[in-house]
Structure 1
Amino acid sequence: MKLLLVYIVRFIMLSLIFCSCGSSGSNTQDISITGKWKLQQEYTNAGQDTPLKEFPLSSCDMQTTLEVLNTGKFIEKNYYEDSSIGGECGKDSQDTKGDWKKSNDGKYLFLYDKNNPLKLRGSLVSIENGNLVVNCVYNDRDFGPNTKLKFIYARVQ
């Protein structure tokens, strides 16, 4: 009986050690989307039911940043090649803004302000291989409904 009690105590102690070591915060679900991110890649499709293709980014496009704030807001500052200033990079006069939230199933959603230029309906956001991936859908005048965009951002800070 005494020997059985010793084995039970050892088993409980070993179980506690393994359980506490196994939950050291390595779970990727706990990675925060908050911070500053820089655009790395962009994908788009030519309308409903067509595959996504990589959209080539200029060095100016790649200066675009996305800041996801702890307050539940986000701000994207877009840059482009401006031919009126000798091909230098120009910044869009209007930032893309909105709110973000984490849903009950652990996914992140971006809700864009009503005055966003593309009239994006919303985005599903995730962390993949350390990068922030934003998938969105909008109605395009040329390509029709359900045109998709995918943006991949690398963490800056």
Structure 2
Amino acid sequence: MELNQEIKTLAAQLGAILTDKRLTITTAESCTGGGISYALTDTPGSSNYVDRCFVTYSNEAKQALLGVSAQTLNSYGAVSEQTVVEMATGAAQAANADIAVAVSGIAGPGGGSDDKPVGLVWFAINIQGNVSSYEQVFPGERSYVRTQAIAFALKNIVSHIQG
């Protein structure tokens, strides 16, 4: 995977902040397929703040590794605010991390619907138990949706930590 300069810069900025504040981070990724954790660990010194991350592409993985409830998945679907909030909470607990970011979306080209179009991505950021969630619809083809989602997640974590 080749990271673009924006993502490299954001990951390095986040890494410096995490190191300075002595915070740890984990990821719970679906549509980004580990792209956020790849960006984080591409930065030298990342072992100071990354211990483990989760790629939970299937509903079964979300349940088994992150504790997302079957009821949540059945009621709201994998691409929903409720699911990413549970993913972020479960990842923070499973990794014993100060910060967790969760991402679930429809990167395309198929899989979209009127309610959940291609490009829809839900994010949740859990910082020491305080969870914020975001919904974005990114334009473009699959790899561009994924790249935008990775950059958005990193930007928002930096923004939250800096207050």
Higher alpha-carbon Rg: 1
TM-score, normalised with respect to structure 1: 0.32
TM-score, normalised with respect to structure 2: 0.31
Q: Pick the structure with more helix per residue.
A: 2
Q: Pick the structure with more strand per residue.
A: 1
